């Protein structure tokens, strides 16, 4: 009798396995492409930084002094941390407008708890947990109620900002001289200030080391873990991600929680550095944060973006803000500059995407 050849029929699970592999491979390839050192967008941003630095130094010799460099690094720390958290949301094709309000609410809650008798560390942890909770609510509503993230976070932005004004009486809070409650213990206050204002390594303010440490951690999370590759897959195509058995809703909730956490952390470090907190803190940071993410190369459509690009985008915007102030350009004119740069970055993003997907953005 001739030997029988045993064949394995092609089954649906086998086809699904191949789809899973292909989808994740595409995400990994896209992620590796974005890591290229010679990324044209990154090169363009670095050249813009060099050009802006040269112009501002020519206009004002104080621009490249050590004192101004430290001021620049300190002022951009909160913006960079806020922007990096926001990057994860935009990578998935979603948006979070509430991060600026979270930036203001969490240190305010911490300050009020502190002056009313709760110790410093529990107050800080409650503030950070509150930021996570707001992000969790955003993610839950977006995924479970199927409401666009723009609408959800527009609502929570106003709710959170209104709550901040309500609990603070629209007034700033200084833990040493509170309008209500009692002054906090001096030792706790000094320890809290040391989180961001002390000089630790190379006499650099600790706020700068917080920003660098956060950037390293988030860079690894985005570029060296399966978590980051799956975010790229979700942003590139939700259906492909689902085909690859990625739990899309779970990852969306996680990125909103991360955005809330890092908005809270940025607000807390700003509170620590200044020694007081204002209910309007963060309201002027929302647009620069989005601008930093977009200018840094993260696509509003999702699926494209790097932590390094966001950091460089924030550096460029901070240099423009600092330099324009030094040469006497008013704050209103600075808004025009930032707005123009942001629109140009979005136009470049759309043009670049349309080259890869002809006709997508044509009316």
**What range does the domain containing 124 cover?**
19-349
* CA diameter of the chain: 98
Q: What is the pTM of this model?
A: 0.86
Asked if 337 and 320 count as a contact pair (C-beta separation under 8 A), the reply is: yes
Is residue 6, in this structure, part of any structural domain at all? Answer: no
Asked if 164 and 104 count as a contact pair (C-beta separation under 8 A), the reply is: yes
Is residue 11, in this structure, part of any structural domain at all? Answer: no
Q: What is the CATH number of the domain that holds 330?
A: 1.10.3470
Is residue 148, in this structure, part of any structural domain at all? Answer: yes
What is the rounded distance in angstroms from the CA atom of residue 294 to the CA atom of residue 346? 7
Is residue 277, in this structure, part of any structural domain at all? Answer: yes
Instruction: Show the tokens assigned to 180.
Output: 């209500």
Is residue 152, in this structure, part of any structural domain at all? Answer: yes
The per-residue pLDDT string of the chain (363 residues; one tens digit each, 9 = 90 and over) reads 444 444 444 444 444 455 455 555 555 555 555 555 457 778 888 888 999 999 999 999 999 998 898 889 888 999 999 999 999 999 999 999 999 999 999 999 999 999 999 999 999 999 999 999 999 999 999 999 999 999 999 999 999 999 999 999 999 999 999 988 899 999 999 999 988 887 766 677 888 889 999 999 999 999 999 999 999 999 999 998 998 889 999 999 999 999 999 999 999 999 999 999 999 999 989 999 999 999 998 988 899 999 999 999 999 999 999 999 998 887 788 788 888 887 887 777 677 666 655 444 332
Is residue 75, in this structure, part of any structural domain at all? Answer: yes
Asked if 24 and 237 count as a contact pair (C-beta separation under 8 A), the reply is: no
Residue 225 region by backbone torsions, left for phi larger than 0, else alpha for psi between -120 and 50, else beta:
beta
Provide the domain count of the chain.
1
Is residue 10, in this structure, part of any structural domain at all? Answer: no
Q: For residue 273, count CB atoms less than 10 angstroms from its CB and return exposed for 0-12, middle for 13-18, buried for 19 or more.
A: buried
Is residue 25, in this structure, part of any structural domain at all? Answer: yes
């Amino acid at each position: 009798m001739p030997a029988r050849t045993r064949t394995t029929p092609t089954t649906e699970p086998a086809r699904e396995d191949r789809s899973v592999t292909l989808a994740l491979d595409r995400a990994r390839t896209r992620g590796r492409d974005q890591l290229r050192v010679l990324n044209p967008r990154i090169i363009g941003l670095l050249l813009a930084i060099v050009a802006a630095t040269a112009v501002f130094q020519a206009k004002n010799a104080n621009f490249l002094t050590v004192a101004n460099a430290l001021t620049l690094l300190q002022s951009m720390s909160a913006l960079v941390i806020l922007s990096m958290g926001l990057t994860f949301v935009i990578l998935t094709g979603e948006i979070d407008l509430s991060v600026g309000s979270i930036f203001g609410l969490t240190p305010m809650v911490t300050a009020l708890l502190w002056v009313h008798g709760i110790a410093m560390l529990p107050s800080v942890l409650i503030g950070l947990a509150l930021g996570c909770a707001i992000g969790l609510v955003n993610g839950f509503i977006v995924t479970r109620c199927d409401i666009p993230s723009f609408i959800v976070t527009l609502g929570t932005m106003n709710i959170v900002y209104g709550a901040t004004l309500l609990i603070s009486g629209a007034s700033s809070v200084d833990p040493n001289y509170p309008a209500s409650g009692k002054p906090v213990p001096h030792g706790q206050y000094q320890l809290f200030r040391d989180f961001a204002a002390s000089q630790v390594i190379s006499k650099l303010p600790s706020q700068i080391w917080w920003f660098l440490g956060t950037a390293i951690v988030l860079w690894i999370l985005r570029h060296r873990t399966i978590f980051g590759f799956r975010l790229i897959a979700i942003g590139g195509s939700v259906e492909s991600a689902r085909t690859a058995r990625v739990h899309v809703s779970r990852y969306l909730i996680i990125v909103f929680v991360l955005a809330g956490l890092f908005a809270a952390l940025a607000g807390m470090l700003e509170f620590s550095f200044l020694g007081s907190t204002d209910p309007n803190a963060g309201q002027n940071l929302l647009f620069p944060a989005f601008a930093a993410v977009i200018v840094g190369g993260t696509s509003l459509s999702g699926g494209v973006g790097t932590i390094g690009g966001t950091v460089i985008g924030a550096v460029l915007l901070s240099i423009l803000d600092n330099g324009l102030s030094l040469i006497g350009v008013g704050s209103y004119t600075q808004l025009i500059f930032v707005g123009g740069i942001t629109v140009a970055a979005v136009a470049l993003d759309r043009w670049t995407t349309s080259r890869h997907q002809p006709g997508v953005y044509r009316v």
